[in-house]
Amino acid sequence: MNCLIGQSGGPTAVINSSLAGAIQAGIDFGFENVYVSLNGIEGLLHENIKCVDKDLFEDEKAKERLKKRPSSILGSCRFKLSDDLENDQYKKIFENLKKYEISTFVYIGGNDSMDTVMKLNSYIEKNNIDWVNVVGCPKTIDNDLCEMDHSPGFASAAKFVNSALRQVRLDCDIYPIKSITFVEIMGRNAGWLTSTSYLANYKRKKDIVNLVYLPEDSKSLDDIEKEIKEKFKEDNNLVIAVSEGFMDKEGKLENENQKSFDKGFNHPIIAGIGQKISDYIHDKLEVKTRSVELNIIQRTSFLISKTDSDEAYELGYLAIKEGKNQTNIVPILKRDDGEEYKVKYSTTNPSNIANKEKKIPADWLESREILKEKITEYTLPLIKGEISQEFTEGIFDYIKLEDFTK
């Protein structure tokens, strides 16, 4: 009885916390071997698999070190399994699962990864396979996974974004001239992460962030120009957060880069909207503008929320705990009612998450003040606590895969 764990999709700061939880559960529940697949489902297809050294994992305190390490230590992929269950991909995958005597396979990922979990379970059902369980484990900085209050990785990304915005503001305020800094933040179709920019204003007499534009927004360039002019009545130096997936409602800022697609799940490759708006406003208002794109550092920062890390760990642990007895599930978390922040854990079917997106509730978007109030109340408990990081001679250091595998 062995278990296998893989990671796929975009990385987060706490995806390895889920890995740590899954490995620990694999040890606690008596799996003979705990294997890890490199580069997700592609690693399983090509037998790029390593075995966890249980002694190293415990002696080298790998569990705690993994919870400190951002990004996917196992590597990742965006490989989309065929819709045709007769495709040879499936035969090869299950041959390799059989070869390594895998009885539980945990796949850590987001919407697309749950599509993989769903398809593998469809193959299991179609072929009456009873010797392996395939379960998911959630993650994404976009916070767009359905069925759960929030997604592991979102809080740490929000923590980084708001720390960065406060640093941006420190720079913006040094000159006595009109200026605008547009900060582009990740979020293709859902503006959760960008909306948390309002947290930067928390308990500040002066706004750190003046305006926020989300994919859910319907704004023309004229609307944006008018709003900026109004904000200039309050402050000479503006900071404006823009989701990478925002687009003016006429589509005037669309460019070729936004029409291209990545391989696998065919998502549009979007970037550069911050610079586009910056150039437009510079020409229209004749003020100093610049664009800052936070880019991939949003999901790989070592500024990790302890709450986020602990919850990701619990979901990874639960994936193995529940997955040893049943297939076709994904562990999830929901927020308890009440003033004190608490969550409860349960499971759902991957079909409830795969290829779906949770958007910001429409009633939160009725006004900027409502959004500011709602997103602050929602996100503040999630970013609590810090993870103490490792440094070697002043340089950020982190665990490596060879530190706990053989």
Q: Please give the Cα distance from 133 to 331 (Å, whole number).
A: 14
At a CB cut-off of 8 Å and minimum separation 6, what does 108 contact?
5, 6, 7, 8, 15, 18, 19, 22, 136, 137, 138, 139, 316, 319
- The model's confidence at residue 270, banded by pLDDT at 50, 70 and 90, is low
**Which tens digits make up the pLDDT trace of 98-119?**
999 999 999 999 999 999 999 9
**At CA 255, angle to CA 254 and CA 258, rounded to 5?**
85
Picking from 94, 9, 38, the residue whose alpha carbon sits closest to that of residue 402 is: 38
Nearest to residue 305, comparing CAs of 380, 383, 379? Answer: 383
* Model pLDDT for residues 126-164, shown as the tens digit of each residue: 999 999 999 999 999 999 999 999 999 999 999 999 999
Q: pLDDT-based confidence at 339, cuts 50/70/90? A: confident
Residue 59 is predicted with a pLDDT of: 79
More confident residue, 339 or 333: 333
Tokens found for residue 223:
């609307």
Closest CA to 161 of 241, 276, 270, 247: 241
Give the rounded percent of residues in the chain with a pLDDT score beyond 90: 91
**Predicted local distance difference test score (pLDDT) of residue 316:** 98
At residue 264, does pLDDT exceed 80? Answer: no
pLDDT exceeds 70 at position 255 = no
| Residue 93 near residue 41 (C-beta atoms within 8 A) | yes
The SS3 assignment for 322 reads helix
Query: Hey, where are the domains in the chain?
Result: 2-140+148-153+303-354+386-403, 157-300
Residues 6+ apart with CB under 8 A from 78: 8, 9, 112, 262, 263, 264, 265
- Is the pLDDT score of 343 beyond 90? yes
Beta carbons within 8 Å of 130's beta carbon, 6+ residues apart: none
> What mean pLDDT do residues 355-367 have?
95
The yes-or-no answer to whether 2-140+148-153+303-354+386-403 and 157-300 have a common fold is yes
Please, which pLDDT band fits residue 256 given cuts at 50, 70 and 90? very low
Predicted local distance difference test score (pLDDT) of residue 257 = 47
Task: Give me the amino acid identity at 74.
Answer: L
So what's the pLDDT on residue 253? 86
The CATH classification of domain 157-300, taken from the options 3.30.390.10, 3.10.20.90, 3.40.1130.10, 3.40.50.460: 3.40.50.460
- Predicted TM-score of the model (pTM): 0.94
Which residue, among 253, 230, 229, has the nearest Cα to 242 in the 3D structure? 253
387 SS3 class: coil
Q: CB within 8 A of 64, min separation 6: which ones?
A: 20
In 3D space, the residue among 192, 101, 76, 139 whose CA is nearest the CA of residue 315 turns out to be: 139
The CATH code belonging to domain 2-140+148-153+303-354+386-403 is 3.40.50.450
pLDDT in tens, 47-101: 999 999 999 998 778 999 999 999 999 999 999 999 999 999 999 999 999 999 9
> Backbone phi, then psi, for 279, in 5-degree steps?
-65, -40
Contact 91, 41 (CB under 8 A): no
pLDDT tens per residue, range 189-229: 999 999 999 999 999 999 999 999 999 988 999 999 999 99
CB within 8 A of 395, min separation 6: which ones?
A: none
Q: Which residue spans within 100-251 are E strands per DSSP?
A: 102-109, 133-138, 179-185, 211-213, 237-243
d(CA 89, CA 95): 10
